Every structure is written in structure tokens, then in C-alpha cells.
């Protein structure tokens, strides 16, 4: 991203901004200072509702980790790596799906679910780049 690492970190650690730049995030409700409830929907006709709970946040190292509960359960770890004139956002997710219909369909629909997730992440990346553009 052609933005300072600190700016990238500030945006990705504030779920309240997600609907401003990530088209697939349809709502964020702040539960407390460390927890937000997120509703997302990508291409497929279903929404996922889950809570993000801050587990780690270190601006100096550009690292954050959130636990996830609800329709998705697990964690998401993000690291912002500063470059000379840009920053790279590295994301690692490890989640299971708790939504019963999706769990039932997973054995046959997994490739479609992965494509749906990839589309959502691509739109998030594009939206973040545009949001941070001067």
C-alpha cells in the first residue's frame, strides 16, 4: 500500500472504520473498547456475524491479533511491515465456521466458499488502498 505503516495500522485496528472502506462489511457495533460485532456478506447469499476481541495490539511492531467468536471462531493475526515508501499488510486467519448450513455444505461447497472469501479479501484490499490514498 502506498501509505505510511502507521496509517495502515491505525485503520486496520479500528473496526469502526471497516464499513467505510470494505464493501463486504455491512455493520460494526462496538461492544466495548476491545470487542466489536461485525456483520459481513460477500458474493454468496449469506451473512456472517461474529465478534472480534482484541488479543494483541503493538503499534511499534505493527502487530495485532483478534479472537473471533460467533459464526466464525478462531483468530486473525495481522502485521504491517513498513517499506521505504509503502507498507505491506500480512494477514493470517485460522477459523472454523459455526453456521450450521455452511458446515453442512462445506464438504461439497468448500471451493465456492474459498472463492467467496478471496473475493471479499480482494475487495477489502482495494477498498483499504483507496481509503488510504492521499
Ordered by start, the domain boundaries in the chain are 5-132
- The reported pTM is 0.93
- For domain 5-132, say whether CATH 3.90.1150.10 is its number: no
Q: Of all residues in the chain, what percent carry a pLDDT higher than 70?
A: 100
What angle do helix axes 100-132 and 5-12 make, rounded to 10 degrees? Answer: 140
pLDDT of 134 strictly over 90? no
Tens digits of per-residue pLDDT, 44-94? 999 999 999 999 999 999 999 999 999 999 999 999 999 998 999 999 999
- Per-residue model confidence (pLDDT) at position 85: 87
Helix (H, G, I), strand (E, B) or coil at 23: coil
- Per-residue model confidence (pLDDT) at position 24: 99
- Per-residue model confidence (pLDDT) at position 91: 97
Task: Give φ, ψ of 120 to 5 degrees.
Answer: -65, -45
User: In 4-129, at which residue ranges do the beta strands (DSSP E only) sit?
Assistant: 25-32, 35-40, 48-58, 63-70, 72-82, 87-97
Q: What is the dihedral of CA 122, 97, 48, 5, to 10 degrees?
A: -40
Amino acid at each position: 500500500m502506498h501509505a505510511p505503516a502507521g496509517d495502515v495500522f491505525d485503520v486496520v485496528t479500528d473496526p469502526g472504520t471497516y464499513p467505510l472502506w470494505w464493501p463486504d462489511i455491512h455493520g460494526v457495533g462496538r461492544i466495548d473498547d476491545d470487542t466489536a460485532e461485525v456483520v459481513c456478506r460477500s458474493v454468496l447469499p449469506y451473512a456472517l456475524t461474529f465478534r472480534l476481541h482484541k488479543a494483541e495490539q503493538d503499534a511499534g511492531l505493527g502487530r495485532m491479533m483478534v479472537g473471533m467468536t460467533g459464526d466464525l471462531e478462531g483468530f486473525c493475526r495481522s502485521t504491517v511491515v513498513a517499506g521505504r515508501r509503502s507498507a505491506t499488510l500480512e494477514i493470517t486467519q485460522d477459523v472454523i465456521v459455526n453456521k450450521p448450513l455452511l458446515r453442512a455444505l462445506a464438504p461439497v461447497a468448500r471451493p465456492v466458499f474459498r472463492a467467496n472469501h478471496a473475493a471479499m479479501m480482494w475487495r477489502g484490499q482495494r477498498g483499504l488502498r483507496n481509503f488510504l490514498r492521499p
